[in-house]
């Protein structure tokens, strides 16, 4: 190879090196730009958590899609209904059911009570129905024919409380309440063994002043 050919070969190698260097430099520059763009995007865009997005309570909103609320029409659980029925306002008169110095648990049913002469309520304060009462109350063991006493607190300005007792009769084709014999504030328990659910209606008169109460007893055979 003469001097002229050697010179041309060296020039080609130099040009090839320069081209390769430019290609590598261009590739490095593109990669750097992508990295910068990724960092910028991560700073400006909120991170997206796994699962459904929820309301940010601290800020009030995030602009994200909110999770659907619980079904507002869903019926409350039995425990919730029992808890609501057990709520007895402090403004209501005291009430108790006893037999031979044994306290018999009770739960409030419906109430239309103002505590004032001539008072009128806008809406009935609904309480436990027979199903909730039967689930919530534990039957108190009594002997056949035991005397059960009802004691409602007297309220100033109202009449003396009057009592009306009914029993939930499951023996009929259609479950229903039937009047049960009582003498003002006491009654005699059934003589046949079994569990019995009673409803006591107490009326203080002079307007809307009436509250009903459920209680449950278990007659033990001799």
Q: 101-142: per-residue pLDDT in tens? A: 999 999 999 999 999 999 999 888 889 999 899 989 999 999
Domain for residue 58, yes or no? no
| Predicted confidence (pLDDT) per residue in 58-92, tens digit | 333 323 232 333 334 445 566 776 777 778 899 99
Domain for residue 40, yes or no? no
Identify whether residues 190 and 111 lie together within a single domain.
yes
Q: How many helices (H) and strands (E) does the chain have?
A: 3, 10
Q: What is the CATH number of the domain that holds 189?
A: 2.60.40
Rounded distance between C-alpha atoms, residue 37 and residue 158, angstroms = 82
| Predicted confidence (pLDDT) per residue in 34-57, tens digit | 545 444 444 444 444 443 333 333
Domain extent, residue 184, equals 87-219
Strand partners, 102: 99
* Total domain count, the chain: 2
Tokens describing residue 185 = 């504030």
pTM: 0.64
Q: Which residues have C-beta within 8 Å of that of residue 180, sequence separation ≥ 6? A: 165, 166, 167, 187, 198
Identify whether residues 105 and 190 lie together within a single domain.
yes
Helix, strand, coil percentages (3-state) for the chain, rounded to 5, are: 25, 30, 45
Identify whether residues 118 and 204 lie together within a single domain.
yes
Rounded distance between C-alpha atoms, residue 31 and residue 133, angstroms = 74
Number of neighbouring beta carbons within 10 Å of residue 203: 19
């Amino acid at each position: 190879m003469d001097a002229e050919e050697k010179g041309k070969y060296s020039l080609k190698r130099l040009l090839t090196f320069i081209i390769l260097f430019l290609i590598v430099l261009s590739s490095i520059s593109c990669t750097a730009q992508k990295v910068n763009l990724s960092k910028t995007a991560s700073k400006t865009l909120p991170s997206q958590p796994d699962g459904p997005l929820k309301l940010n309570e601290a800020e009030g909103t995030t602009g994200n899609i909110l999770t659907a609320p619980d079904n507002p029409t869903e019926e409350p659980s039995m425990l919730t209904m029992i808890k609501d029925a057990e709520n007895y306002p402090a403004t209501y008169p005291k009430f108790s059911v006893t037999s031979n110095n044994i306290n018999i648990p009770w739960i409030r049913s419906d109430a239309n009570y103002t505590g004032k002469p001539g008072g009128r309520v806008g809406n009935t304060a609904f309480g436990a129905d027979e199903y909730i009462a039967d689930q919530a109350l534990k039957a108190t063991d009594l002997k056949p024919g035991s005397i059960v006493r009802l004691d409602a607190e007297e309220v100033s300005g109202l009449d003396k409380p009057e009592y009306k007792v009914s029993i939930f009769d499951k023996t009929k084709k259609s479950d229903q309440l039937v009047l049960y014999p009582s003498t003002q504030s006491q009654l005699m328990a059934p003589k046949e063994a079994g569990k019995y659910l009673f409803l006591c209606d107490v009326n203080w008169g002079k307007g809307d002043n009436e509250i009903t109460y459920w209680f449950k007893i278990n007659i033990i055979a001799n």
